[in-house]
Chain A
Amino acid sequence: MAVLEVADLQIWDSGTNQCLVAGSSFQVKAGSCLAIVGESGSGKSLTCKAIMRLNDSGLRQSGEIRFKGENLLALSEKEMRQKRGKQICLIVQNGMRAFDPSCVVGVHLLETIATHFDWGRDEITTRLTAAMESVMLRNPREIMNKYPHQLSGGMLQRIMIALALVLAPDLIIADEPTTALDAVSAFEVVEQLMALRQNTGCAMIFVSHDLGVVKKIADEVLVMKEGAVVESGAAHQIFSKARHEYTRYLVSNKLALSQRFSQVMGGVDVAEG
């Protein structure tokens, strides 16, 4: 059964009437991971924000987005707000900018959980601490009292994952979660995202242009180019026998790049390096 079904999603700029995403359709099966790949400006992030109805007011969208059978576009703003976080959880690209810079990160975590659950402060802290420990964050209580600029990008990314663990949503949208990170942190974050799926059994949309990571995490892949879906299918199929020329171009580029990288690194596995 599909958790999310997107049918004929169109996004356009109401000011200039420019079409940004032209009628894309796809679905995410329960417990599976769909990767959306493509170059910058191909409409990947816009699609994610459209699902959460978080695009800027100047952007309009049409089509149908069914989440567990319910059309999200027909919901009131209040009903939509109750879905955000608790049922559909977003993990954003830049952890450094995802938290209020003048509050310690714990404030956002506590506020979010208190919004969705009737737990007492102690219970929230206990659950949060356990979640943070499970994503390999040492001294969770200390971390909760730190400001975003005192933590690293990888840590902030893992804090977002820990929050998702506590909220236990049905769908997680990870919008380029590794792009702003160095190779080692990116590897750790991907490991944690995979563990998160395993532990909660949630479905995931994973947006990235790093095909190496996509190959590792995705069950299905959606390739976007200039606002249109050019190809979709099972991950192994896309990587072995892509039908569309653009997909082959992406895959071959990635292979060439990783071969070159391996040569430079002298055959050392990137993840271990």
Chain B
Amino acid sequence: MSALVRMRLAGFLRTGRALAPVLAGLLALGILYGGGRARPAEAYGVSAVVLFPVLAWQAKILLDVEPDVQRRLAMVSVGPAREWIAGLLAALAAGVGTVLVALGFPWLVGGVTTPGPGDLPVVAALALGLWAHLLALLPAVALGALASRALTRTAGYGVAVLAVGAVGTLALGLRGSVAPWLVPPVLTTARVLAGSLPAGTALLLSGWALAWAGVALTGYAWWRRTRP
């Protein structure tokens, strides 16, 4: 299965289709950090919100790079379940790359303040940033998978799923939302990172994100049974 993950990552990088989401991500981060400095943990929370649709788009692009018939050839070779998992792992790996860029970006452009007395140390801020971005990455990959061509068949439906998922995550994630549990806790995480983060809240948010991604990926696997 690792060979298939490598093959898909290589295809994603060689086609140049990796460029579009990377540029979009850099643009979003540039706008985010162009306005002034913020505390690292708080900035990372907002960064994860901004990157959520980009990460979902990137996952969709990666899963769509292969021609349909090549995807089926891989399925014949390794079996359906491994083929699905290899695609998701490749999307996760590409997403981790983008997350690492997002973690380093604000330090390069001076978008965050250096920790002062009473602030979190840099390592702790980086760890919180990684946690916040991973909470966004898992649901984003799941959303990208649901929008992938294997399920949606046409570009129009794919974009629609992606747009509804991204906009819904932002709209239903606002404070006072009637059904915040319907969407991944991306905005909630950003709000929490603006203040203190109790361990219980961190666990709750982690479980929420994992559960959302799990449900979405279960749906993906279910639909892929009849959509090779």
Asked if chains A and B come from one complex, the reply is no
